[in-house]
Amino acid sequence: MEVSVIIPNYNGIAFLDSVLGSLEGQTARNFEVIFVDNGSTDGSCSFVAGNYSWVHIIELPENYGFCRAVNEGIRAAKAPYVLLLNNDTEVAEDFVEQMLSAIRRHKNAFSCAARMVQYHDRDRLDDAGNYYCALGWSFARGKGKDIHTYEKEEQIFAACGGAAIYRKKILEKIGYFDEEHFAYLEDTDIGYRARIYGYENWYAPEALVYHVGSGTSGSRYNHFKTRYSSRNNVYLIYKNMPLLQIILNLPFLIVGFGTKLLFFTVKGMGKEYLAGIKNGFSISRQGKKVKFSLKNLPNYAKIQVELWGQYVPETGGVKCLLQNFTEIL
H helices of the chain, in order, are 13-24, 44-51, 66-76, 95-105, 168-174, 186-196, 223-240, 243-266, 270-284, 297-309, 319-322
| Residue-level pLDDT at 312 | 47
* Backbone phi, psi, residue 2, to 5°: -110, -25
Are the C-beta atoms of residues 113 and 163 closer than 8 Å to each other?
Answer: yes
| Residue-level pLDDT at 100 | 98
Q: How many CB atoms lie within 10 A of CB 25?
A: 9
* Backbone phi, psi, residue 313, to 5°: -55, 135
N-term to C-term CA, the chain? 34
Segment 142-189, tens digit of pLDDT: 999 999 999 999 999 999 999 999 999 999 999 999 999 888 899 999
Which residues in the chain come in under a pLDDT of 50? 215, 217-218, 312-320, 322-329
| Residue-level pLDDT at 285 | 87
| Residue-level pLDDT at 88 | 96
Q: How far apart are CA 129 and CA 125, in angstroms?
A: 11
Q: What is the value of pTM for the model shown?
A: 0.91
SS3 call for 244: helix
User: What number of H helices and E strands is found in the chain?
Assistant: 11, 14
Q: How far apart are CA 218 and CA 258, in angstroms?
A: 26
Are the C-beta atoms of residues 39 and 65 closer than 8 Å to each other?
Answer: no
Structural domains in the chain, CATH included, are 3-211 (3.90.550.10), 223-327 (no CATH)
Bridge partners of residue 33, in order along the sequence: 5
| Residue-level pLDDT at 288 | 84
Estimate the crossing angle of helix 297-309 against helix 243-266, to 10 degrees: 30
Query: Which sign, positive or negative, has the C-alpha torsion 220, 120, 160, 76?
Result: positive
Q: How far apart are CA 96 and CA 3, in angstroms?
A: 8
List C-alpha distances in Å: 237 to 134, 227, 269: 10, 16, 22
Estimate the crossing angle of helix 223-240 against helix 270-284, to 10 degrees: 30
Q: Which residues contact 251 (CB under 8 A, 6 or more apart)?
A: none
Rounded to the nearest 10°, the torsion over CA 86, 87, 89, 92 is 80
